[in-house]
Amino acid sequence: MPLLRRVVRSIAHTRERVAATRPLRWVMALLLTLVVLSGLAVTGVSAYQGYQLYRRGISMAEDGVQRLRAGGAALNGLARDPLDDAAITTARADFIQAGTDFDQVRGLLDQVPGVAGSVPTYGPKVVAAQHLLPIAHDAARLGVVGCDAVSLLSSRMRDPLAASGQGISPADLISLQADVTQMRALLDGMSTRANHLTTADSAVDPRIGLALAAFRTSAPALRDALDTAETLIEVAPDVLGIGKPTDYLLEQLDSTELRPGGGFVGSYGILALSGARVTATWPQPMTDVDLIDKPFEFAGGSIAYPPQYTWFPLAASWSLRDSNLDADFPTAAVWAERLYHEEGGTAPVKGVIAITPWLIQGALAITGAIYVPEYHETVTAGNLIDRIHYHQLLAAEGADYVPSPDGHSSLRKRFTSYLFDHFLARVRQVAPTRLADFARLVMAAVRSKDLQIYVNAAPAETLLRYADMASAIEAPAGDSFLTVDANIIADKANNFITYTLQDHITLAANGTAHHVTTLTYAWPRSAESAVYAYGTYYRDYLRVYVPPAAHLDTQAGWVAQPATTAFGRQVWAGVFTLADGSRTTIALTWDEPGAATHDAHGWHYRYLLQKQPGLTWHVDLRAQLPSCAVPLGAPNGWTPGRAYTFTAGGPLTQDRALELGYRC
C-alpha cells in the first residue's frame, strides 16, 4: 500500500508542481491575450473588431487562469487524500476548461495576419505570444492526463481491504504506463519550447523571465517524479500481486520487550496481496512465533548466531522471534525471511512488514473500541498493552508452544489472535469512510518506524530508501547520532522506562564538533510496573552509532564493550542494569573532526539524529557556534538562542535532520 500511495503521490505531485507554478500559469495565459489582441488593431483589423476580440480574449484568458488555479487548488488536497474522487474530478474539469480557453485564444491568434510580426512595438508581442501559447496549453493537458492516471488508481483502490473488488490489473498498468509516457512527452515538449524562447520573447514583459525560471527549476523534480512512477509500475506486478498474488511475512513486534528492530517478534502471519488489494482470505489468524520456533527446536534444529549477534544471550539457538537484532530493517528483514524458511515456513514471501503496538494504538483511535466476545472484553487504545499482557503473562491460559484447539495461535496468545481478528474486521468495516485517516496514520507510522516495510525486489527497495521509507540506518555526510537499545533480560520494563537524550555540541573554528552526550533511563516505581514488568530489574545492551571518524574521549555509566563498525558507522557499545524505581545515566564525550564543512558560502554543520523503531527518546539538543561565527540564513530544525547558541528538543518521533550555516 505505501508503494501504491507513492505512485499516486508522484503523479499528483507532478501535476501539482506544474499547476502551482504561478508565474507560468497566469503570465502565459493573460499575457497572451493582452499582447496579441492589442496588436490586432494595427494589423488590418478594424478598431471595433480589434476591441471586441480584445475583450473576448481577456475573458478567455482570465477564465483559463482561474481554471488552472482552481485545478491546482484541488490537487493540493490530494496530498492529504490521494484517492479523493471529488477533488480528482474537479481538477480534471478545470484543466479541460483551461485547455479549451487556450484553444480559443489560439483561434484568435490565428486571425492575426502573418505580417503582424514585423509591425513595430506590437510585432514582438505577437511573436512572443505565438511561442508561449503551446507551453500554457501543454500544462493544462498535462494536468488532464495526470488526473486520468490518478482517477484509474482511485477507482481500483477505493476500498483496498474489502473482501471483493477489482483491484489493479495488468491492463491497468499498461494504461498507467501510457499516461506517464504522455506526461513525460508533454513535459519534454514544454521544456524544449521554453529553451527555444528568445531574449526578445522574454523582453516583452519581465514576468516572462520569472515564469521561465520557475518552470526550469521545477522541471527536474517533475522528471524525477515520473521516473519514480515508471519504476513503480515496472515492479508493481511482483510487489503488489498484480497478475499473480504476492505474499509478505507480517510481524507483530512487542516494543515493551525491546529489540534493536523495534521489539521481539511476538506473532507472525502471511499478508497476501492480489491486484494491490488484501485478499479475501486474509486475515488469517496471527500465530504465536513460538509455534514455528519451538517445534523446530524440539525436533533438534539449531541455528547459530552470526558473529555480529553473539552478544545476544537469551536463547542458545537463533530464531524468528529474535531475528531483528539490528535496527536496520532491510538487514533484519532478510534475516527474518531466512529464519522463517529454515524453521519450516513455506509461503514464498516477497518481503517483510513489521508493526509495533503503537501503530495499533493509533488505528484504535480511528476504529474505536474493539469488543472481543470470546473473552467478553473491550479493548481501547488506552488499555491495549494492559489487556494483552494480562492474558499472556498473568492469566495462565496455557503454553506458548501448544496450539489453540480452535486454530487461533497458541493457548498463551489466543486472546491476542482473536483481538487482532476483530480489530482487522473493524478496520475493513470503517475503511471506506475513513480511508484518508488510515492513509495519514500509515504514512506517519512509516516515518516513526512503527510500520516497517522491506521488499525483495531491488528497484522497489531502492525507491523506499530514496523516499526515506526503508527504516534503514543512514550513513550521511556530516555529523550523526543513533542509539539502539536491546532488552537482554526478557521482561516488559521498556513499557515503563522513560528515555532522555541530551547532546550539547560545541563547534570549533576548524569544523570539529565536540559532543557532551548523556542518555538517561528512568524506571519510576508503580503498581502497574510491579505487576506487568515481569521482573524487578532491567538489563540493556546499548549501541551508539556515530560517524567513522568520531573519537570517543570519555565514557561512564555502562560496562563498555569492544567498538565495532557497521552500516558505514563506528559503533560504541556497553551493557548496563537498571532497577525498578531507579534511574541511570550513560555519559559520553566525543569529537567529530570535520563535522562542519566549508565552501565559498561559509561553514555548514549538518546533524542527523536517527530514531530506533519502537522507542521514543525525549531530546534536548544544544549547539554552540565558534566565537568567531556569524550565522547565515535561517537554521533548519534549530531555535536561535543567546550568544550564537541554538537549541532543539521534544520527542524524537522520526529521524530528525538539522542544519546550521555560519561564517567565521
Residues 6+ apart with CB under 8 A from 299: none
Q: Is residue 472 part of a domain?
A: no
Please tell me the predicted confidence (pLDDT) of residue 642: 84
pLDDT of 52 over the 70 cut? no
State how far the Cα of 356 lies from the Cα of 616, in Å rounded to an integer.
Answer: 12
Q: Are residues 100 and 211 in the same domain?
A: yes
The rounded radius of gyration (Å) of the Cα atoms in the chain is 30
State how far the Cα of 143 lies from the Cα of 169, in Å rounded to an integer.
Answer: 24
Q: Is residue 264 part of a domain?
A: yes
Structure confidence by residue, pLDDT tens digits, 364-388: 999 999 999 999 999 999 999 999 9
Residues 6+ apart with CB under 8 A from 484: 260, 327, 542, 543, 544, 545, 612
DSSP code per residue over 435-459: HHHHHHHHHHHHHHTSEEEEESSHH
More confident residue, 233 or 15: 233
pLDDT of 36 over the 60 cut? no
Residue listed under C-alpha cell 492474558: 391
Q: Are residues 331 and 389 in the same domain?
A: yes
Comparing 98-102, 380-384, 466-470, 539-543, the range with the smallest average pLDDT is 98-102
Final residue of a domain: which of 400, 433, 462? 462
Q: Are residues 434 and 530 in the same domain?
A: no
Please tell me the predicted confidence (pLDDT) of residue 129: 66
Please tell me the predicted confidence (pLDDT) of residue 47: 44
Cα atoms found within 13 Å of the Cα of residue 128, Cβ hemisphere only? 30
Q: Are residues 425 and 533 in the same domain?
A: no
- Is residue 515 within 8 A of residue 547, CB to CB? The reply is no
DSSP class of residue 403 equals B
SS3 string, 185-250, reads HHHHHHHHHHHCCCHHHHHCCHHHHHHHHHHHHHHHHHHHHHHHHHHHHHHHHHHHCCCCCEEEEE
In degrees, rounded to 5, the angle at the alpha carbon of residue 239 between the alpha carbons of residues 234 and 243 is 80
SS3 509: coil
pLDDT of 390 over the 60 cut? yes
Please tell me the predicted confidence (pLDDT) of residue 46: 45
Identify the top-confidence range among 142-146, 394-398, 550-554.
550-554
- Is residue 19 within 8 A of residue 72, CB to CB? The reply is yes
Q: Is residue 467 part of a domain?
A: no
Please tell me the predicted confidence (pLDDT) of residue 61: 63
Mean pLDDT of the chain: 85
Comparing 201-215, 237-251, 402-416, 634-648, the range with the smallest average pLDDT is 201-215
> In one letter, which amino acid is 183?
M
pLDDT of 488 over the 60 cut? yes
Q: Are residues 232 and 250 in the same domain?
A: no
pLDDT of 27 over the 50 cut? no
Phi-psi label, residue 490: left if phi above 0, alpha if psi -120 to 50, beta otherwise? left
Query: pLDDT band at 38, cuts 50/70/90?
Result: very low
pLDDT of 8 over the 50 cut? no
Q: Which residue range forms the structural domain that includes residue 347? A: 246-462
Cis peptide before 283 (omega within 30 of 0): yes
Comparing 164-173, 185-194, 249-258, 575-584, the range with the smallest average pLDDT is 164-173
Q: Are residues 422 and 542 in the same domain?
A: no
- Mean pLDDT along residues 324-349: 97
Structure confidence by residue, pLDDT tens digits, 601-641: 999 999 999 999 999 999 999 999 999 898 988 899 999 98
Comparing 5-14, 226-235, 327-336, 603-612, the range with the smallest average pLDDT is 5-14
- Is residue 262 within 8 A of residue 255, CB to CB? The reply is yes
Q: Are residues 296 and 217 in the same domain?
A: no
- Mean pLDDT along residues 546-572: 97
How many structural domains does the chain have? 3
Structure confidence by residue, pLDDT tens digits, 427-439: 888 888 888 888 8
* Helix or strand run (H / E) with residue 574: strand 569-579
Structure confidence by residue, pLDDT tens digits, 451-464: 999 999 999 999 89
Calculated CA dihedral for residues 236, 331, 265, 387, nearest 10 degrees: -80
Q: Is residue 471 part of a domain?
A: no
Please tell me the predicted confidence (pLDDT) of residue 357: 94
Final residue of a domain: which of 183, 216, 236? 236
Q: Are residues 454 and 357 in the same domain?
A: yes
Q: Is residue 625 part of a domain?
A: yes
Q: What is the largest CA-CA distance in the chain?
A: 100
DSSP class of residue 470 equals S
State how far the Cα of 449 lies from the Cα of 447, in Å rounded to an integer.
Answer: 5
Identify the top-confidence range among 188-202, 271-285, 366-380, 398-412.
366-380
Query: pLDDT band at 124, cuts 50/70/90?
Result: low
> In one letter, which amino acid is 268?
Y
pLDDT of 340 over the 60 cut? yes
Q: Is residue 468 part of a domain?
A: no
CATH of the domain at 281: 3.40.630
Please tell me the predicted confidence (pLDDT) of residue 203: 64
Q: Are residues 455 and 516 in the same domain?
A: no
pLDDT of 287 over the 60 cut? yes
Give the Å distances, CA to CA, from 328 to 90, 474, 611, 650. 43, 9, 11, 24
Please tell me the predicted confidence (pLDDT) of residue 65: 66
Q: Are residues 394 and 305 in the same domain?
A: yes
170-195 and 2-19 helices cross at what angle (nearest 10)? 30
Phi-psi label, residue 82: left if phi above 0, alpha if psi -120 to 50, beta otherwise? alpha
Cell of 605: 554543520
Query: pLDDT band at 195, cuts 50/70/90?
Result: confident
Query: pLDDT band at 485, cuts 50/70/90?
Result: very high
- Mean pLDDT along residues 73-81: 72
Please tell me the predicted confidence (pLDDT) of residue 402: 93
State how far the Cα of 645 lies from the Cα of 65, in Å rounded to an integer.
Answer: 47
Q: Is residue 334 part of a domain?
A: yes
Q: Is residue 323 part of a domain?
A: yes
Final residue of a domain: which of 430, 462, 494? 462
pTM of the entire predicted model: 0.85
Query: pLDDT band at 526, cuts 50/70/90?
Result: confident
Q: Are residues 140 and 212 in the same domain?
A: yes
Comparing 278-292, 549-563, 585-599, the range with the smallest average pLDDT is 278-292
State how far the Cα of 304 lies from the Cα of 514, in Å rounded to an integer.
Answer: 40
Comparing 22-26, 488-492, 571-575, the range with the smallest average pLDDT is 22-26
Please tell me the predicted confidence (pLDDT) of residue 393: 86
Cell of 333: 528483514
State how far the Cα of 66 lies from the Cα of 29, in Å rounded to an integer.
Answer: 10
SS3 string, 118-186, reads HCCCHHHHHHHHHHHHHHHHHHHHHHHHHHHHHHHHHHHCCCCCCCCCCCCCHHHHHHHHHHHHHHHHH
- Is residue 37 within 8 A of residue 108, CB to CB? The reply is yes
Q: Are residues 421 and 542 in the same domain?
A: no
